Structure 1
Amino acid sequence: MKILISLLSITVLLSGCASQLKKECENTNWFQHGESVAMRGEWLSSDPKILSCRKEEAEISESQADQGFKSGRIKYCTKENSYLVGKTGDPFVPQFCEGSDVKTLTSNHTKGIRDYCAKNNGFTAGASGKKYRNLCPTDLESGFLPEYKKGRLRYVEAQIKNAEDRRRELDYKMRLAMMELSSAESKVSNLRGQMSSLEAQRIFANSDNNESMKNDINNRISSLDSDIRRAEWSVNDAQRAKNNIQGEMDRLSKEISDYRTEMAGL
Protein backbone atom coordinates (compact mmCIF):
# COMPACT_ATOMS: atom_id res chain seq x y z
CA MET A 1 0.00 0.00 0.00
CA LYS A 2 2.80 2.43 0.95
CA ILE A 3 4.67 1.76 -2.31
CA LEU A 4 1.48 2.14 -4.34
CA ILE A 5 0.65 5.48 -2.72
CA SER A 6 4.22 6.74 -3.17
CA LEU A 7 4.18 5.82 -6.86
CA LEU A 8 0.80 7.48 -7.24
CA SER A 9 2.15 10.61 -5.55
CA ILE A 10 5.10 10.77 -7.94
CA THR A 11 2.80 10.24 -10.93
CA VAL A 12 0.46 13.02 -9.83
CA LEU A 13 3.42 15.34 -9.14
CA LEU A 14 4.93 14.76 -12.59
CA SER A 15 1.51 15.10 -14.17
CA GLY A 16 1.01 18.39 -12.34
CA CYS A 17 4.36 19.73 -13.59
CA ALA A 18 3.56 18.65 -17.13
CA SER A 19 0.09 20.20 -16.94
CA GLN A 20 1.55 23.46 -15.65
CA LEU A 21 4.02 23.62 -18.53
CA LYS A 22 1.30 22.75 -21.01
CA LYS A 23 -0.91 25.49 -19.58
CA GLU A 24 1.94 27.99 -19.79
CA CYS A 25 2.58 27.02 -23.40
CA GLU A 26 -1.05 27.43 -24.36
CA ASN A 27 -1.30 30.82 -22.63
CA THR A 28 1.78 32.18 -24.45
CA ASN A 29 1.44 35.08 -26.85
CA TRP A 30 3.21 33.31 -29.69
CA PHE A 31 3.49 36.39 -31.89
CA GLN A 32 5.40 38.23 -29.15
CA HIS A 33 7.49 35.17 -28.40
CA GLY A 34 8.43 34.66 -32.04
CA GLU A 35 9.37 38.32 -32.28
CA SER A 36 11.56 38.12 -29.16
CA VAL A 37 13.37 35.05 -30.54
CA ALA A 38 14.22 36.94 -33.73
CA MET A 39 15.32 40.00 -31.76
CA ARG A 40 17.91 37.78 -30.06
CA GLY A 41 19.25 36.81 -33.48
CA GLU A 42 18.09 33.21 -33.03
CA TRP A 43 15.93 30.77 -35.01
CA LEU A 44 12.55 29.37 -33.99
CA SER A 45 13.75 25.84 -34.77
CA SER A 46 16.26 25.99 -31.91
CA ASP A 47 14.18 27.94 -29.36
CA PRO A 48 14.09 26.01 -26.03
CA LYS A 49 10.54 27.03 -25.14
CA ILE A 50 9.07 25.95 -28.46
CA LEU A 51 10.95 22.65 -28.25
CA SER A 52 9.66 22.06 -24.69
CA CYS A 53 6.07 22.90 -25.66
CA ARG A 54 6.20 20.57 -28.66
CA LYS A 55 7.52 17.82 -26.43
CA GLU A 56 4.51 18.33 -24.14
CA GLU A 57 2.27 18.21 -27.22
CA ALA A 58 0.86 21.58 -26.16
CA GLU A 59 -1.16 23.65 -28.57
CA ILE A 60 1.19 26.16 -30.21
CA SER A 61 0.12 28.83 -32.69
CA GLU A 62 2.84 28.10 -35.21
CA SER A 63 1.49 30.72 -37.62
CA GLN A 64 1.55 33.44 -34.95
CA ALA A 65 5.06 32.46 -33.88
CA ASP A 66 6.20 32.58 -37.51
CA GLN A 67 4.58 35.97 -38.11
CA GLY A 68 6.15 37.33 -34.93
CA PHE A 69 9.52 35.91 -35.96
CA LYS A 70 9.31 37.61 -39.36
CA SER A 71 8.37 40.91 -37.68
CA GLY A 72 11.24 40.58 -35.20
CA ARG A 73 13.69 39.70 -37.95
CA ILE A 74 12.83 42.89 -39.83
CA LYS A 75 13.39 44.92 -36.65
CA TYR A 76 16.61 43.08 -35.86
CA CYS A 77 18.05 43.80 -39.29
CA THR A 78 17.96 47.60 -39.06
CA LYS A 79 20.85 50.04 -38.77
CA GLU A 80 19.43 51.35 -35.49
CA ASN A 81 19.18 47.92 -33.91
CA SER A 82 22.60 46.74 -35.05
CA TYR A 83 24.06 49.80 -33.31
CA LEU A 84 22.04 49.18 -30.12
CA VAL A 85 23.14 45.52 -30.04
CA GLY A 86 26.74 46.69 -30.11
CA LYS A 87 26.06 49.44 -27.55
CA THR A 88 24.91 46.78 -25.07
CA GLY A 89 28.07 44.72 -25.65
CA ASP A 90 26.42 41.89 -27.57
CA PRO A 91 27.42 40.22 -30.84
CA PHE A 92 25.40 40.84 -34.00
CA VAL A 93 24.53 38.08 -36.48
CA PRO A 94 24.68 39.68 -39.94
CA GLN A 95 23.99 36.37 -41.75
CA PHE A 96 20.59 36.44 -40.03
CA CYS A 97 19.67 39.38 -42.27
CA GLU A 98 18.98 38.20 -45.81
CA GLY A 99 18.79 40.91 -48.42
CA SER A 100 19.95 43.58 -45.97
CA ASP A 101 22.95 45.84 -46.33
CA VAL A 102 25.20 43.60 -44.25
CA LYS A 103 28.17 45.91 -44.57
CA THR A 104 26.22 48.84 -43.13
CA LEU A 105 24.76 46.71 -40.33
CA THR A 106 28.22 45.43 -39.41
CA SER A 107 29.65 48.95 -39.48
CA ASN A 108 26.89 50.25 -37.20
CA HIS A 109 27.40 47.36 -34.82
CA THR A 110 31.11 48.18 -34.65
CA LYS A 111 30.24 51.80 -33.76
CA GLY A 112 27.98 50.51 -30.99
CA ILE A 113 30.71 48.22 -29.68
CA ARG A 114 33.20 51.08 -29.59
CA ASP A 115 30.74 53.20 -27.59
CA TYR A 116 30.13 50.29 -25.20
CA CYS A 117 33.89 49.80 -24.79
CA ALA A 118 34.57 53.44 -23.90
CA LYS A 119 36.51 53.74 -20.65
CA ASN A 120 33.83 55.92 -19.06
CA ASN A 121 31.23 53.16 -19.69
CA GLY A 122 33.32 50.40 -18.12
CA PHE A 123 32.10 50.72 -14.54
CA THR A 124 28.44 51.00 -15.59
CA ALA A 125 28.78 47.97 -17.85
CA GLY A 126 30.35 45.92 -15.07
CA ALA A 127 27.84 46.99 -12.43
CA SER A 128 24.92 46.09 -14.72
CA GLY A 129 25.54 42.39 -14.11
CA LYS A 130 26.08 41.61 -17.77
CA LYS A 131 29.18 39.56 -18.42
CA TYR A 132 31.84 40.83 -20.78
CA ARG A 133 31.64 39.10 -24.16
CA ASN A 134 35.25 39.82 -25.21
CA LEU A 135 34.12 42.04 -28.06
CA CYS A 136 36.11 45.20 -27.34
CA PRO A 137 38.83 46.10 -29.84
CA THR A 138 42.40 46.06 -28.53
CA ASP A 139 42.79 49.84 -28.58
CA LEU A 140 39.83 50.24 -26.17
CA GLU A 141 39.98 47.11 -24.06
CA SER A 142 42.96 48.20 -21.98
CA GLY A 143 41.03 51.24 -20.73
CA PHE A 144 37.63 49.54 -20.53
CA LEU A 145 38.46 46.35 -18.63
CA PRO A 146 39.88 47.85 -15.40
CA GLU A 147 36.75 49.99 -15.01
CA TYR A 148 34.51 47.10 -15.98
CA LYS A 149 36.11 44.90 -13.30
CA LYS A 150 35.50 47.57 -10.65
CA GLY A 151 31.81 47.66 -11.58
CA ARG A 152 31.62 43.90 -11.84
CA LEU A 153 33.17 43.55 -8.38
CA ARG A 154 30.47 45.77 -6.90
CA TYR A 155 27.80 43.72 -8.67
CA VAL A 156 29.27 40.40 -7.49
CA GLU A 157 29.55 41.61 -3.89
CA ALA A 158 25.90 42.68 -3.94
CA GLN A 159 24.84 39.34 -5.41
CA ILE A 160 26.74 37.41 -2.75
CA LYS A 161 25.11 39.47 0.00
CA ASN A 162 21.63 38.96 -1.47
CA ALA A 163 22.22 35.22 -1.86
CA GLU A 164 23.51 34.86 1.70
CA ASP A 165 20.53 36.81 3.06
CA ARG A 166 18.19 34.57 1.13
CA ARG A 167 19.98 31.45 2.32
CA ARG A 168 19.53 32.54 5.95
CA GLU A 169 15.80 32.90 5.29
CA LEU A 170 15.78 29.42 3.79
CA ASP A 171 17.63 27.99 6.80
CA TYR A 172 14.68 29.08 8.96
CA LYS A 173 12.15 27.73 6.45
CA MET A 174 14.04 24.44 6.32
CA ARG A 175 13.78 24.02 10.09
CA LEU A 176 10.03 24.58 9.88
CA ALA A 177 9.73 22.20 6.93
CA MET A 178 11.62 19.48 8.79
CA MET A 179 9.34 19.90 11.81
CA GLU A 180 6.30 19.68 9.53
CA LEU A 181 7.66 16.55 7.89
CA SER A 182 8.49 14.94 11.23
CA SER A 183 4.98 15.70 12.52
CA ALA A 184 3.38 14.27 9.37
CA GLU A 185 5.53 11.11 9.56
CA SER A 186 4.67 10.67 13.25
CA LYS A 187 0.97 10.88 12.43
CA VAL A 188 1.32 8.20 9.76
CA SER A 189 3.26 5.98 12.18
CA ASN A 190 0.58 6.43 14.83
CA LEU A 191 -2.22 5.62 12.39
CA ARG A 192 -0.41 2.52 11.18
CA GLY A 193 -0.05 1.43 14.79
CA GLN A 194 -3.80 1.79 15.18
CA MET A 195 -4.28 -0.19 11.97
CA SER A 196 -2.10 -3.03 13.27
CA SER A 197 -4.16 -3.14 16.46
CA LEU A 198 -7.43 -3.25 14.51
CA GLU A 199 -6.15 -5.97 12.21
CA ALA A 200 -5.22 -8.04 15.28
CA GLN A 201 -8.72 -7.47 16.64
CA ARG A 202 -10.19 -8.53 13.30
CA ILE A 203 -8.28 -11.82 13.45
CA PHE A 204 -9.72 -12.41 16.92
CA ALA A 205 -13.24 -11.51 15.74
CA ASN A 206 -12.91 -13.88 12.79
CA SER A 207 -11.78 -16.73 15.03
CA ASP A 208 -14.62 -15.98 17.44
CA ASN A 209 -17.05 -15.73 14.52
CA ASN A 210 -18.47 -12.48 15.97
CA GLU A 211 -20.20 -10.86 12.97
CA SER A 212 -21.14 -7.70 14.80
CA MET A 213 -17.58 -7.13 15.98
CA LYS A 214 -16.19 -8.01 12.53
CA ASN A 215 -18.45 -5.45 10.82
CA ASP A 216 -17.54 -2.76 13.33
CA ILE A 217 -13.80 -3.45 12.96
CA ASN A 218 -14.02 -3.56 9.16
CA ASN A 219 -15.76 -0.16 9.15
CA ARG A 220 -13.12 1.27 11.46
CA ILE A 221 -10.34 -0.19 9.29
CA SER A 222 -11.88 1.30 6.16
CA SER A 223 -12.12 4.73 7.81
CA LEU A 224 -8.60 4.45 9.20
CA ASP A 225 -7.28 3.42 5.78
CA SER A 226 -8.63 6.69 4.37
CA ASP A 227 -7.01 8.59 7.23
CA ILE A 228 -3.68 6.91 6.48
CA ARG A 229 -3.87 7.78 2.79
CA ARG A 230 -4.54 11.44 3.64
CA ALA A 231 -1.72 11.43 6.18
CA GLU A 232 0.67 9.92 3.63
CA TRP A 233 -0.30 12.64 1.17
CA SER A 234 0.61 15.14 3.87
CA VAL A 235 4.00 13.45 4.25
CA ASN A 236 4.53 13.67 0.49
CA ASP A 237 3.56 17.35 0.49
CA ALA A 238 5.91 18.07 3.40
CA GLN A 239 8.75 16.14 1.75
CA ARG A 240 8.19 17.98 -1.52
CA ALA A 241 8.27 21.34 0.28
CA LYS A 242 11.49 20.34 2.05
CA ASN A 243 13.05 19.19 -1.23
CA ASN A 244 12.11 22.46 -2.92
CA ILE A 245 13.77 24.45 -0.16
CA GLN A 246 16.85 22.22 -0.28
CA GLY A 247 17.03 22.63 -4.04
CA GLU A 248 17.01 26.41 -3.75
CA MET A 249 19.60 26.28 -0.95
CA ASP A 250 21.88 24.12 -3.10
CA ARG A 251 21.45 26.51 -6.02
CA LEU A 252 22.30 29.49 -3.84
CA SER A 253 25.35 27.73 -2.41
CA LYS A 254 26.66 27.07 -5.91
CA GLU A 255 25.87 30.63 -6.95
CA ILE A 256 27.77 32.03 -3.97
CA SER A 257 30.70 29.71 -4.65
CA ASP A 258 30.82 30.71 -8.32
CA TYR A 259 30.66 34.42 -7.46
CA ARG A 260 33.44 34.06 -4.86
CA THR A 261 35.61 32.29 -7.43
CA GLU A 262 34.97 35.05 -9.94
CA MET A 263 35.56 37.75 -7.31
CA ALA A 264 39.03 36.34 -6.61
CA GLY A 265 39.98 37.06 -10.21
CA LEU A 266 38.64 40.61 -10.39
Structure 2
Amino acid sequence: MKNLISLMAMTVLVSGCASQLKKDCESTNWFQHGESVAMRGEWLSSDPKLLSCRKEEAEISESQADQGFKSGRIKYCTKENSYLVGKSGDPFVPQFCEGSDVKTLTSSHTKGIRDYCAKSNGFTAGASGKKYRNLCPTDLESGFMPEYKKGRLRYVEAQIKNAEDRRRELDYKMRLAVMEVASAQNKVHMLRSQQSSLEAQRIFANDSNNQALKDDINNRISAADSNVRQAEWKVNDAERAKNSIQAEMDKLSKEISDYRTEMAGL
Protein backbone atom coordinates (compact mmCIF):
# COMPACT_ATOMS: atom_id res chain seq x y z
CA MET A 1 0.00 0.00 0.00
CA LYS A 2 2.83 2.34 0.96
CA ASN A 3 4.61 1.66 -2.34
CA LEU A 4 1.40 2.37 -4.23
CA ILE A 5 0.98 5.70 -2.45
CA SER A 6 4.59 6.63 -3.20
CA LEU A 7 4.12 5.71 -6.86
CA MET A 8 0.97 7.81 -7.06
CA ALA A 9 2.79 10.73 -5.44
CA MET A 10 5.66 10.47 -7.91
CA THR A 11 3.21 10.30 -10.81
CA VAL A 12 1.50 13.46 -9.62
CA LEU A 13 4.86 15.19 -9.17
CA VAL A 14 6.07 14.29 -12.67
CA SER A 15 2.71 15.25 -14.13
CA GLY A 16 2.85 18.57 -12.30
CA CYS A 17 6.34 19.32 -13.66
CA ALA A 18 5.24 18.43 -17.18
CA SER A 19 2.13 20.56 -16.81
CA GLN A 20 4.21 23.52 -15.60
CA LEU A 21 6.56 23.17 -18.56
CA LYS A 22 3.59 23.13 -20.92
CA LYS A 23 2.16 26.28 -19.32
CA ASP A 24 5.53 27.99 -19.63
CA CYS A 25 5.79 26.99 -23.28
CA GLU A 26 2.32 28.25 -24.11
CA SER A 27 2.80 31.57 -22.28
CA THR A 28 6.13 32.32 -24.01
CA ASN A 29 6.40 35.23 -26.41
CA TRP A 30 7.90 33.18 -29.22
CA PHE A 31 8.84 36.18 -31.36
CA GLN A 32 10.97 37.56 -28.52
CA HIS A 33 12.38 34.13 -27.76
CA GLY A 34 13.35 33.50 -31.39
CA GLU A 35 14.96 36.92 -31.54
CA SER A 36 16.97 36.31 -28.35
CA VAL A 37 18.23 32.96 -29.69
CA ALA A 38 19.54 34.68 -32.81
CA MET A 39 21.09 37.49 -30.78
CA ARG A 40 23.16 34.85 -29.00
CA GLY A 41 24.46 33.69 -32.38
CA GLU A 42 22.66 30.36 -32.02
CA TRP A 43 20.35 28.43 -34.35
CA LEU A 44 16.67 28.04 -33.56
CA SER A 45 16.76 24.41 -34.71
CA SER A 46 18.99 23.50 -31.76
CA ASP A 47 17.36 25.71 -29.12
CA PRO A 48 16.79 23.60 -25.95
CA LYS A 49 13.57 25.36 -24.93
CA LEU A 50 11.94 25.02 -28.33
CA LEU A 51 12.92 21.36 -28.52
CA SER A 52 11.53 20.71 -25.02
CA CYS A 53 8.25 22.45 -25.85
CA ARG A 54 7.88 20.43 -29.05
CA LYS A 55 8.50 17.24 -27.09
CA GLU A 56 5.85 18.31 -24.60
CA GLU A 57 3.46 18.82 -27.53
CA ALA A 58 2.63 22.28 -26.26
CA GLU A 59 0.84 24.80 -28.45
CA ILE A 60 3.61 27.10 -29.64
CA SER A 61 3.82 29.63 -32.45
CA GLU A 62 6.47 28.25 -34.77
CA SER A 63 5.88 31.11 -37.23
CA GLN A 64 6.42 33.75 -34.53
CA ALA A 65 9.58 32.02 -33.37
CA ASP A 66 10.87 31.94 -36.95
CA GLN A 67 10.02 35.59 -37.57
CA GLY A 68 11.70 36.57 -34.30
CA PHE A 69 14.77 34.54 -35.23
CA LYS A 70 15.04 36.28 -38.61
CA SER A 71 14.67 39.67 -36.92
CA GLY A 72 17.33 38.79 -34.36
CA ARG A 73 19.68 37.50 -37.02
CA ILE A 74 19.50 40.82 -38.87
CA LYS A 75 20.28 42.68 -35.64
CA TYR A 76 23.08 40.28 -34.74
CA CYS A 77 24.82 40.75 -38.08
CA THR A 78 25.46 44.48 -37.74
CA LYS A 79 28.70 46.32 -37.20
CA GLU A 80 27.34 47.86 -34.00
CA ASN A 81 26.35 44.54 -32.50
CA SER A 82 29.55 42.72 -33.44
CA TYR A 83 31.44 45.45 -31.57
CA LEU A 84 29.19 45.11 -28.50
CA VAL A 85 29.62 41.33 -28.52
CA GLY A 86 33.38 41.82 -28.45
CA LYS A 87 33.14 44.56 -25.79
CA SER A 88 31.29 42.00 -23.63
CA GLY A 89 34.16 39.53 -24.00
CA ASP A 90 32.15 37.09 -26.08
CA PRO A 91 32.98 35.37 -29.39
CA PHE A 92 31.23 36.42 -32.59
CA VAL A 93 29.97 33.88 -35.14
CA PRO A 94 30.59 35.36 -38.63
CA GLN A 95 29.30 32.15 -40.29
CA PHE A 96 25.91 33.10 -38.84
CA CYS A 97 25.81 36.15 -41.10
CA GLU A 98 25.32 34.95 -44.66
CA GLY A 99 25.46 37.72 -47.24
CA SER A 100 26.87 40.25 -44.77
CA ASP A 101 30.22 41.99 -44.95
CA VAL A 102 31.94 39.42 -42.76
CA LYS A 103 35.28 41.20 -42.90
CA THR A 104 33.75 44.40 -41.52
CA LEU A 105 31.90 42.49 -38.79
CA THR A 106 35.02 40.62 -37.78
CA SER A 107 37.05 43.82 -37.67
CA SER A 108 34.39 45.52 -35.53
CA HIS A 109 34.32 42.54 -33.17
CA THR A 110 38.11 42.63 -32.85
CA LYS A 111 37.90 46.29 -31.83
CA GLY A 112 35.32 45.39 -29.20
CA ILE A 113 37.54 42.60 -27.87
CA ARG A 114 40.49 44.97 -27.58
CA ASP A 115 38.37 47.44 -25.61
CA TYR A 116 37.18 44.61 -23.35
CA CYS A 117 40.76 43.47 -22.81
CA ALA A 118 42.04 46.88 -21.74
CA LYS A 119 43.83 46.76 -18.39
CA SER A 120 41.44 49.40 -17.04
CA ASN A 121 38.50 47.04 -17.69
CA GLY A 122 40.09 43.95 -16.13
CA PHE A 123 38.80 44.34 -12.56
CA THR A 124 35.27 45.22 -13.71
CA ALA A 125 35.21 42.26 -16.08
CA GLY A 126 36.33 39.87 -13.35
CA ALA A 127 33.94 41.25 -10.72
CA SER A 128 30.99 40.91 -13.12
CA GLY A 129 30.97 37.15 -12.64
CA LYS A 130 31.43 36.44 -16.33
CA LYS A 131 34.18 33.92 -16.97
CA TYR A 132 37.07 34.81 -19.22
CA ARG A 133 36.66 33.30 -22.69
CA ASN A 134 40.38 33.34 -23.63
CA LEU A 135 39.77 35.91 -26.35
CA CYS A 136 42.26 38.63 -25.44
CA PRO A 137 45.19 39.11 -27.83
CA THR A 138 48.65 38.43 -26.41
CA ASP A 139 49.70 42.08 -26.32
CA LEU A 140 46.78 42.93 -24.00
CA GLU A 141 46.32 39.75 -21.98
CA SER A 142 49.37 40.28 -19.77
CA GLY A 143 47.95 43.57 -18.49
CA PHE A 144 44.31 42.47 -18.43
CA MET A 145 44.57 39.15 -16.59
CA PRO A 146 46.07 40.33 -13.25
CA GLU A 147 43.29 42.90 -12.91
CA TYR A 148 40.69 40.41 -14.08
CA LYS A 149 41.83 37.92 -11.41
CA LYS A 150 41.52 40.56 -8.69
CA GLY A 151 37.95 41.26 -9.78
CA ARG A 152 37.17 37.57 -10.14
CA LEU A 153 38.50 36.94 -6.63
CA ARG A 154 36.14 39.61 -5.29
CA TYR A 155 33.25 37.94 -7.11
CA VAL A 156 34.16 34.42 -5.96
CA GLU A 157 34.51 35.50 -2.32
CA ALA A 158 31.07 37.12 -2.46
CA GLN A 159 29.53 34.01 -4.03
CA ILE A 160 31.04 31.77 -1.34
CA LYS A 161 29.70 34.03 1.41
CA ASN A 162 26.22 34.11 -0.14
CA ALA A 163 26.20 30.34 -0.59
CA GLU A 164 27.36 29.72 2.98
CA ASP A 165 24.71 32.10 4.35
CA ARG A 166 22.05 30.30 2.34
CA ARG A 167 23.31 26.91 3.48
CA ARG A 168 23.00 28.00 7.11
CA GLU A 169 19.40 28.96 6.43
CA LEU A 170 18.81 25.57 4.87
CA ASP A 171 20.42 23.78 7.83
CA TYR A 172 17.70 25.24 10.03
CA LYS A 173 14.99 24.41 7.51
CA MET A 174 16.31 20.87 7.26
CA ARG A 175 16.02 20.35 11.01
CA LEU A 176 12.41 21.50 10.85
CA ALA A 177 11.77 19.29 7.80
CA VAL A 178 13.18 16.21 9.55
CA MET A 179 10.90 16.86 12.52
CA GLU A 180 7.96 17.34 10.16
CA VAL A 181 8.62 13.99 8.48
CA ALA A 182 8.94 12.25 11.86
CA SER A 183 5.72 13.86 13.10
CA ALA A 184 3.84 12.83 9.96
CA GLN A 185 5.15 9.28 10.20
CA ASN A 186 4.11 9.07 13.86
CA LYS A 187 0.63 10.27 12.88
CA VAL A 188 0.39 7.47 10.30
CA HIS A 189 1.55 4.91 12.88
CA MET A 190 -1.07 6.11 15.37
CA LEU A 191 -3.86 6.03 12.78
CA ARG A 192 -2.88 2.54 11.66
CA SER A 193 -3.09 1.38 15.29
CA GLN A 194 -6.60 2.81 15.39
CA GLN A 195 -7.36 0.96 12.17
CA SER A 196 -6.23 -2.32 13.71
CA SER A 197 -8.34 -1.70 16.80
CA LEU A 198 -11.41 -0.95 14.69
CA GLU A 199 -10.85 -4.08 12.60
CA ALA A 200 -10.87 -6.11 15.80
CA GLN A 201 -14.10 -4.43 16.84
CA ARG A 202 -15.62 -5.21 13.45
CA ILE A 203 -15.01 -8.92 13.98
CA PHE A 204 -16.90 -8.67 17.25
CA ALA A 205 -19.69 -6.60 15.65
CA ASN A 206 -20.07 -9.05 12.75
CA ASP A 207 -20.61 -11.86 15.26
CA SER A 208 -23.45 -9.91 16.86
CA ASN A 209 -26.94 -9.32 15.55
CA ASN A 210 -26.68 -5.57 16.18
CA GLN A 211 -26.90 -3.93 12.73
CA ALA A 212 -26.52 -0.44 14.17
CA LEU A 213 -23.24 -1.48 15.76
CA LYS A 214 -22.04 -2.99 12.47
CA ASP A 215 -22.91 0.17 10.58
CA ASP A 216 -21.19 2.36 13.15
CA ILE A 217 -17.98 0.29 13.05
CA ASN A 218 -17.97 0.22 9.25
CA ASN A 219 -18.41 4.01 9.10
CA ARG A 220 -15.61 4.51 11.62
CA ILE A 221 -13.32 2.18 9.66
CA SER A 222 -14.09 4.03 6.44
CA ALA A 223 -13.24 7.33 8.12
CA ALA A 224 -10.06 5.80 9.56
CA ASP A 225 -9.02 4.55 6.11
CA SER A 226 -9.49 8.05 4.74
CA ASN A 227 -7.49 9.55 7.61
CA VAL A 228 -4.63 7.12 7.00
CA ARG A 229 -4.53 7.98 3.29
CA GLN A 230 -4.44 11.68 4.06
CA ALA A 231 -1.72 11.15 6.66
CA GLU A 232 0.34 9.13 4.16
CA TRP A 233 0.04 11.94 1.64
CA LYS A 234 1.34 14.33 4.32
CA VAL A 235 4.31 12.03 4.87
CA ASN A 236 5.05 12.11 1.15
CA ASP A 237 4.69 15.89 1.05
CA ALA A 238 7.02 16.27 4.04
CA GLU A 239 9.60 13.92 2.51
CA ARG A 240 9.47 15.78 -0.83
CA ALA A 241 10.04 19.08 0.98
CA LYS A 242 12.98 17.57 2.88
CA ASN A 243 14.46 16.11 -0.30
CA SER A 244 14.11 19.46 -2.05
CA ILE A 245 16.02 21.16 0.74
CA GLN A 246 18.70 18.46 0.64
CA ALA A 247 19.06 18.84 -3.13
CA GLU A 248 19.61 22.58 -2.77
CA MET A 249 22.11 22.00 0.04
CA ASP A 250 24.03 19.52 -2.10
CA LYS A 251 24.07 21.98 -4.99
CA LEU A 252 25.36 24.75 -2.74
CA SER A 253 28.06 22.49 -1.32
CA LYS A 254 29.28 21.72 -4.82
CA GLU A 255 29.22 25.39 -5.78
CA ILE A 256 31.23 26.32 -2.69
CA SER A 257 33.73 23.54 -3.38
CA ASP A 258 34.11 24.62 -7.01
CA TYR A 259 34.55 28.27 -6.06
CA ARG A 260 37.14 27.42 -3.41
CA THR A 261 39.06 25.36 -5.96
CA GLU A 262 38.96 28.27 -8.40
CA MET A 263 39.92 30.76 -5.68
CA ALA A 264 43.07 28.79 -4.93
CA GLY A 265 44.26 29.46 -8.48
CA LEU A 266 43.52 33.19 -8.53
Shorter-chain TM range is over 0.9
2:43 maps to 43
Q: Separation in 1 of the partners of 2:167 and 2:78?
A: 44
1:60 maps to 60
The question of 1:92 aligning with 2:92 is answered yes
Alignment of 1:120-139 (within 5 A): 120-139=120-139
Q: Offset of 1:155 from its aligned partner?
A: 0.3
2:185 maps to 185
TM-score of the superposed pair, with normalisation by structure 2: 0.98
2:229 maps to 229
Task: Quote the sequence identity (%).
Answer: 86
Q: Separation in 1 of the partners of 2:160 and 2:7?
A: 39
Q: Separation in 1 of the partners of 2:213 and 2:194?
A: 16
Q: Offset of 1:95 from its aligned partner?
A: 0.3
Q: Separation in 1 of the partners of 2:209 and 2:95?
A: 87
Cα shift readout 1:135-181 (whole Å, capped 9, x = no counterpart): 00111111111110010000000000000000001111111111111
Cα shift readout 1:206-259 (whole Å, capped 9, x = no counterpart): 234543322211110101111111111111111111111111100000000000
Partner AA of 2:38 in structure 1: A
2:205 maps to 205
Q: Separation in 2 of the partners of 1:4 and 1:247?
A: 24
Q: Separation in 1 of the partners of 2:208 and 2:3?
A: 33
2:159 maps to 159
2:26 maps to 26
Q: Separation in 2 of the partners of 1:39 and 1:32?
A: 10
1:215 maps to 215
Partner AA of 1:51 in structure 2: L
TM-score of the superposed pair, with normalisation by structure 1: 0.98
SS state at 1:100 partner: coil
SS state at 2:143 partner: helix
SS state at 2:49 partner: helix
2:246 maps to 246
2:146 maps to 146
Q: Separation in 2 of the partners of 1:19 and 1:209?
A: 53
Deviates more, 1:5-14 or 1:128-137: 5-14
Q: Separation in 1 of the partners of 2:31 and 2:232?
A: 44
Moved over 4 A (4+): none
Q: Separation in 2 of the partners of 1:105 and 1:209?
A: 95
Q: Offset of 1:204 from its aligned partner?
A: 2.5
- Tell me how many residue pairs correspond in the alignment: 266
Q: Structure 2 regions of 5+ residues with no counterpart?
A: none
SS state at 2:90 partner: coil
SS state at 2:207 partner: helix
1:104 maps to 104
Deviates more, 1:248-257 or 1:1-10: 1-10
Q: Separation in 1 of the partners of 2:51 and 2:211?
A: 62
Q: Offset of 1:20 from its aligned partner?
A: 0.6
Partner AA of 1:118 in structure 2: A
SS state at 2:57 partner: coil
Q: Separation in 1 of the partners of 2:200 and 2:7?
A: 28
Q: Separation in 1 of the partners of 2:33 and 2:69?
A: 8
2:118 maps to 118
